[in-house]
Structure 1
Amino acid sequence: MEPLDRPVWASLTSVHAELALGDALARCYRPDINRFASARDDGAEALAALARLVRPAEPVFVLQVPEICIPPGLAAAKTARGVQMVAAGDITPEAGPETVLLLDDGDAEEMLALATLTEPGPFLRHTHRMGRFVGVRIDGRLAAMAGERFRFPGYTEVSGVCTHPDFRGRGLARRLSRQVAAGIAARGDTAFLHAWKSNTAAIRLYESLGFRLRCEVNVAVLRRDAGVD
């Protein structure tokens, strides 16, 4: 199976192994990093290992191309369909009036606040440590950001793209997405990303940047089943 078919597993067992909890059958990100988890495969042992990683009141997100098998003891709080897109060629930065800044731990509180407001996907206090994040400040405020999420040999995901409502309509998401994708290409990786299948506006934006549809993906939020310890 292609690593892109199970990008969470590919990431947790390679570049992000130091951010992972679990074993050779199933892994998840540390609870301060992200909520994604993955089984190695859909076998009974791997699914049981995945279930053991899910704590009460702490659901996990599963994202993969194959249909998601729900392990015994877990239940799906939400399921959805998304798309996976891959850069078809080099994507170059785009100039603009605002300076693009590299974000770090000193920006963590503002990054979390912006992601909580705009909901680009699961984003926790240390999610920014998954990769390189850039942003734009306007009048001292973090107006927009974009960064990297899943990473494994040859590929890095563009993620966390969001703009504060006060600063939309300026093309910031487009500029920052290009900036992140260009940085990924500069180190020899191929950029990829995910979007909800229903988010046609985002899909059109990414197509205009040079991303092409690879496939649809399955997404599920899994929690411990009621009555199961």
Structure 2
Amino acid sequence: MSTLEHQLKNPVWSSLQETHKKFAVEFNNVQFYNSEVCTFGAFFDENNTAEAANEYIKTSDSFFYVSENLTPVVDETKVEFTKKIDGCQMVLDSLTNVNITEEIVLLDETFSEEIYDLVWLVMPGYYRKRTFEMGKYFGIFKNGKLVSIAGQRLQSNLFIEVSAVVTHPNYTRRGLAKQLIAHNTKEILKENKTPILHTNKGNPAIALYQKLGYTFTRDMNWWLYTKK
């Protein structure tokens, strides 16, 4: 059995080998998510990524290769490099006590459309309608409207990633995200797994994550490619 440290070096691969194995699609020893669920790919050998990308791009107009420090190779006649997101991985050290004053609701599939709409309002471009199937989602409602969420994305037998932390622009600066992250983190700990998260370097939210007890572990970069 692999260790947590080993899994976190390639979390997309680890997820697709274990908890999310049902979503896995493989081309040339490169692992991808079913593109209806998530458009992430993972690899250990960059010499395999060009052929794999050519096959996977047939199922999606764009996708990400996710890697700590390897640079993917692609066939530029079929796949175009769009941008690199300089990201980082954070892992919970010790959760800070947070006073939960809001009613936090575990969201079922009946809220999947509302989750999709809220994520696309705040962070358009990457979330898929079936991304909801990757893990639990928790939300806060105001006047019957879903205004803030925190979900779970990558996960293995050892870790679960907190993701899709978004709040409607009309409800920011009220501590909603803070309470949702803390609640989600506690739920992950109840499963005896390690809470992790990924974000881009320089994200103002990093300060909040650190206050909640998350610490940096490594770079984790997203290479975005589109179909030519």
Q: Report the TM-score when normalising by structure 2.
A: 0.90
Cα distance in 2 for partners of 1:222, 1:139 equals 40
> Which residue number in structure 1 is paired with residue 10 of structure 2?
6
> Which residue number in structure 1 is paired with residue 135 of structure 2?
131
2:194 corresponds to which of 183, 190, 202: 190
Shift of 1:136: 0.5
Instruction: Note the aligned Cα RMSD (angstroms).
Output: 2.0
Q: Partner letter of residue 212 of structure 1? A: T
Q: Partner letter of residue 58 of structure 1? A: D
- Counterpart of 2:129 in 1: which secondary structure? coil
> Which residue number in structure 2 is paired with residue 219 of structure 1?
222
> Which residue number in structure 1 is paired with residue 38 of structure 2?
34
- Counterpart of 1:170 in 2: which secondary structure? coil
> Which residue number in structure 1 is paired with residue 93 of structure 2?
88
2:106 corresponds to which of 102, 105, 110: 102
Cα distance in 1 for partners of 2:96, 2:56 equals 38
- Name the CA shift for 1:25/1:57 in 2 (closer, same or farther; >3 Å): closer
- Name the CA shift for 1:169/1:77 in 2 (closer, same or farther; >3 Å): same
Shift of 1:50: 3.8
Task: Kindly provide the CA deviation profile for residues 4-42 of structure 1, in whole angstroms up to 9, marking residues without a partner as x.
Answer: 121111111211011122257122222221111222x12
- Counterpart of 2:189 in 1: which secondary structure? helix
Q: Which runs of 5+ in 2 are unaligned?
A: none
Q: Partner letter of residue 32 of structure 2? A: C
CA contact (8 A) 1:91 1:182 kept: no
> Which residue number in structure 2 is paired with residue 79 of structure 1?
84
Q: Report the TM-score when normalising by structure 1.
A: 0.89
Cα distance in 1 for partners of 2:189, 2:59 equals 40
- Counterpart of 1:191 in 2: which secondary structure? strand
Task: Kindly provide the CA deviation profile for residues 69-112 of structure 1, in whole angstroms up to 9, marking residues without a partner as x.
Answer: 2223433111121111000024556311x210001110011000
> Which residue number in structure 2 is paired with residue 15 of structure 1?
19
- Which stretches of structure 1, 4 residues or more, deviate above 6 A after TM superposition? none
Q: Partner letter of residue 111 of structure 1? A: I
Counterparts of residues 129-168 of structure 1 (less than 5 Å): 129-168=133-172
CA contact (8 A) 1:26 1:47 kept: no
Cα distance in 2 for partners of 1:57, 1:45 equals 19
Cα distance in 2 for partners of 1:120, 1:56 equals 20
- Name the CA shift for 1:113/1:208 in 2 (closer, same or farther; >3 Å): same
> Which residue number in structure 2 is paired with residue 68 of structure 1?
71
Cα distance in 2 for partners of 1:94, 1:35 equals 36
CA contact (8 A) 1:121 1:160 kept: no
CA contact (8 A) 1:120 1:161 kept: no
> Which residue number in structure 2 is paired with residue 111 of structure 1?
115
Cα distance in 1 for partners of 2:109, 2:59 equals 29
- Counterpart of 1:77 in 2: which secondary structure? strand
- Counterpart of 1:150 in 2: which secondary structure? strand
- Counterpart of 1:114 in 2: which secondary structure? helix
2:209 corresponds to which of 202, 206, 210: 206
Report % sequence identity: 28
